[in-house]
């Protein structure tokens, strides 16, 4: 129960304040929090070492010293956006018979983020982050993953419906120098998915070092809609991460450890510090991905303008939702369409997260959009997007309860050799999920896109009404999820469910389940058994 002795302000951070930005306020105190945690729920900005002065100008936000309870001020547009937003390249692919094959190599590299010297980083096919993979629904795909790291890794396809053996969870380690070739058929709606390591106990370190990328799925339903889809032009990946830099340019990975993990003081978008995007069209579709290990965001625009939320984790919503902000916890995605006027500049910011998430109160700038003097006309956002069934739990064959507390789920920590439960293929279940801590947690399920049936007995807000694979959990609310296990049975390899705050996941806030045919006996294979098999052969 490591959580319970660790306050948010226990990280030993300094608390010098930048002159250019007012202090954010802490979240409102919960009505009846456990006393041991009350003092830890605090928030602050700190100033930045000289070596990252540029980043300081770019709007930084960090939790640190205690503050009194005041409403959080709006973010202010003081960022010196000075670097063109990097756009991850589209991954090349080739056809091997009817199979579309991508090559992906995890490797070590160096990246100069802030102009002060190289940062040792990890990346796929490059020094930091990875290329954007694109595949069509119905396609058979294979990814030839090579591990060029000095340690094992895995590659998990976050949000993908696929066989457990291809899922890239902790049971599929790739040894240094080894090749892993997961293959599956894309069979889910158009969506913004992503990929990242999932090696048990090492996920946070490897993701933070730079191992992450987007995986876009296209389908005919989405293709038939008049939506922006010119990659990097009016359809833009926005991979948001927070990092801190040490004096020598390296990432800080240990200092500032709090209950959540480490919160960085510098925002990177697609690996770019203080980024701006030159916009040439009236509408921009932004594929927002919170690829941070612990930080929760509430994305909005500095001038408060509204935008259309068109998709969540697993694909398009039924219709656009006019919104002024969209909150994303680690791992969540949202697609938005924002309209710009010729010549204007507006910043994407993060407002203070909903106090109910207990995720701090920092507000800061993220990415500036700079519209050209004349813009290409965009067609109106379609009034209707995708169709999908109502979240009807009448056919669910089982109900399970998941209580998140400390670094445990249902009072247990992850055991690679323990199956927490077994589900049956071609069935759906209701999962009742509750966060017992007035502290940030989330819930992510592999293999499947779920639907939220209710939150504390009420229908979810429209923005949570579509396909989801990750949700932020407000304290002490019951989220009833409709989870379906279509297509893939495997009695030997499990899928994971876990908190997606990566340090919590690494600490064991995770469980695993098998999906089997009716009557099939579970036969979990562990790495040790796999090793024994290899020795026999
Ligand atoms: Cu958590």
Domain boundaries, the chain: 2-83+232-376, 88-223, 398-536
Average pLDDT (155-179) is: 98
- pLDDT for 353: 86
Q: Looking at the predicted structure, is the pLDDT value of residue 537 above 80?
A: no
User: What pLDDT does residue 99 have?
Assistant: 98
Cα 170 versus chain centre, distance? 18
According to the model, what pLDDT value does residue 245 have? Answer: 87
CATH for the stretch 88-223 = 2.60.40.420
Per-residue pLDDT at 530: 52
Distance from the CA of 66 to the center of ligand 1, in angstroms? Answer: 22
Task: Please tell me the distance between residue 236's alpha carbon and the centre of ligand 1 in angstroms.
Answer: 29
Q: Given a cut of 50, is residue 137 above it in pLDDT?
A: yes
User: 529: pLDDT confidence band, cut at 50, 70 and 90?
Assistant: low
pLDDT band at 452 (very low <50, low <70, confident <90, very high): very high
Q: Are 153 and 209 in contact (CB under 8 A)?
A: no
95-101 CB contacts, 8 Å cutoff, 24+ apart: 96/142, 98/140, 99/140, 99/141, 99/142, 99/183, 100/135, 100/139, 100/140, 100/141, 100/142, 101/141, 101/142, 101/143, 101/144
The band of 115, judged by pLDDT with boundaries at 50, 70 and 90, is confident
Confidence of residue 59 (pLDDT cuts 50, 70, 90): very low
Q: How far is the CA of 312 from the centre of ligand 1 (A)?
A: 21
The proportion of the chain whose per-residue pLDDT surpasses 90, expressed as a percent, equals 74
Ranking 116-125, 440-449, 462-471 by mean pLDDT, the lowest is: 116-125
pLDDT at 303 over 70: yes
Distance between Cα 260 and ligand 1 center (Å): 7
The mean pLDDT value for 281-299 works out to: 96
Cα 462 to ligand 1 centre (Å) = 24
Confidence of residue 258 (pLDDT cuts 50, 70, 90): low
Quickly state the pLDDT bin for 528 (edges 50, 70, 90): low
**Rounded mean pLDDT of 30-47?**
32
Regarding predicted confidence, which is higher, 40 or 435?
435
For residue 465, report the distance from its CA to the centre of ligand 1, in Å.
23
Ligand 1 centroid to Cα of residue 297, in Å, is 15
**Class of CATH domain 2-83+232-376:** mainly beta
Q: Whole-model pTM? A: 0.85
Q: Across the chain, what does the average pLDDT equal? A: 85
State the CATH class of domain 398-536.
mainly beta
Q: How far, in Å, is the centroid of ligand 1 from the Cα of 501?
A: 5
What is the per-residue pLDDT for 255?
56
Q: What is the mean pLDDT of residues 100-111?
A: 97
CB 505 within 8 A of CB 408: no
Ligand 1: centre distance to CA 283 (Å): 36
Centroid of ligand 1 to alpha carbon of 466 (angstroms) = 23
Nearest to 441 by CA among 270, 268, 260: 260
Q: How far is the CA of 499 from the centre of ligand 1 (A)?
A: 5
Q: CB-based contacts of 200: which residues, under 8 Å, 6+ apart? A: 170, 414, 416, 506, 510
pLDDT band at 332 (very low <50, low <70, confident <90, very high): very high
Percent of the chain at pLDDT exceeding 70: 82
Q: Which pair of tokens denotes residue 344?
A: 């204007």
Same fold, 88-223 and 398-536: yes
In 10 A of CB 86, how many CB atoms?
17
Q: How far is the CA of 440 from the centre of ligand 1 (A)?
A: 6
Q: How many angstroms does the Cα of residue 294 sit away from the middle of ligand 1?
A: 9
Q: Which two structure tokens, joined as six digits, stand for 43?
A: 């928030």
């Amino acid at each position: 129960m490591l959580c319970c002795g660790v306050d948010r302000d226990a990280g030993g951070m300094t608390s010098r304040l930048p002159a250019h930005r007012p202090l954010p306020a802490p979240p409102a105190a919960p009505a009846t929090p456990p006393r041991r945690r009350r003092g830890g729920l605090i928030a602050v900005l700190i100033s930045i070492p000289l070596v990252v002065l540029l980043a300081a100008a770019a709007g930084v936000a960090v939790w640190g010293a205690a503050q009194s309870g005041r409403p959080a001020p709006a973010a202010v547009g003081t960022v010196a956006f000075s670097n063109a937003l990097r756009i991850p390249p589209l991954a090349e692919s080739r056809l091997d018979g009817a199979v579309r094959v991508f090559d992906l190599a995890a490797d070590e590299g160096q990246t100069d983020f802030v102009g002060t010297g190289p940062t040792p980083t990890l990346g796929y096919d490059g020094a930091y982050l990875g290329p954007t993979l694109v595949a069509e629904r119905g396609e058979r795909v294979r990814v030839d993953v090579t591990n060029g790291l000095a340690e094992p890794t895995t590659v998990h396809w976050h949000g993908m419906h696929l066989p457990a053996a291809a899922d890239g969870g902790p049971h599929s380690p790739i040894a240094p120098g080894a090749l892993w070739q997961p293959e599956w058929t894309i069979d889910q709606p158009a969506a913004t998915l992503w990929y990242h390591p999932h090696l048990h106990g090492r996920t946070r370190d490897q993701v933070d070092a730079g191992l992450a990328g987007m995986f876009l799925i296209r389908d005919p339903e989405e293709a038939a809609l008049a939506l922006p889809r010119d990659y990097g032009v009016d359809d833009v990946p926005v991979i948001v991460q927070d990092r801190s830099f040490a004096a020598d340019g390296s990432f800080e990975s240990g200092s500032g450890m709090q209950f959540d993990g480490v919160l960085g003081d510098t925002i990177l978008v697609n690996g770019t510090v203080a980024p701006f995007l030159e916009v040439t069209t009236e509408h921009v579709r932004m594929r927002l991905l919170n690829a941070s290990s612990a930080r929760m965001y509430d994305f909005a625009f500095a001038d408060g303008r509204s935008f259309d939320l068109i998709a969540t984790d697993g694909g398009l919503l039924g219709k656009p939702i006019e919104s002024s902000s969209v909150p994303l916890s680690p791992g969540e995605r949202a697609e938005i369409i924002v309209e710009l006027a010729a010549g204007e500049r507006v910043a994407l910011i993060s407002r203070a997260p909903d106090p109910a998430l207990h995720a701090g109160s920092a507000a800061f700038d993220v990415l500036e959009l700079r519209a050209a003097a004349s813009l290409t006309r965009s067609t109106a956002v379609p009034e209707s997007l995708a169709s999908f069934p109502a979240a009807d739990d009448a056919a669910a064959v089982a109900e399970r309860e998941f209580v998140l507390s400390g670094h445990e789920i249902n009072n247990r920590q992850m055991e690679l050799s323990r199956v927490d439960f077994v589900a049956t293929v071609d069935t759906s279940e209701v999962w009742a999920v509750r966060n017992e801590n007035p502290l940030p947690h989330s819930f992510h399920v592999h293999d499947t896109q779920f639907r939220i049936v209710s939150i504390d007995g009420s229908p979810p807000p429209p923005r949570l009404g579509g396909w989801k694979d990750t949700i932020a959990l407000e304290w002490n609310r019951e989220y009833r999820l409709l989870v379906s296990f279509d297509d893939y049975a495997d009695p030997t390899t499990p899928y994971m469910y876990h908190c997606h705050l990566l340090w919590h996941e690494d600490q064991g806030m995770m469980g695993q389940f098998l999906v089997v045919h009716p009557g099939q006996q579970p036969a979990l294979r562990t790495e040790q058994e796999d090793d024994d098999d290899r020795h026999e052969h």
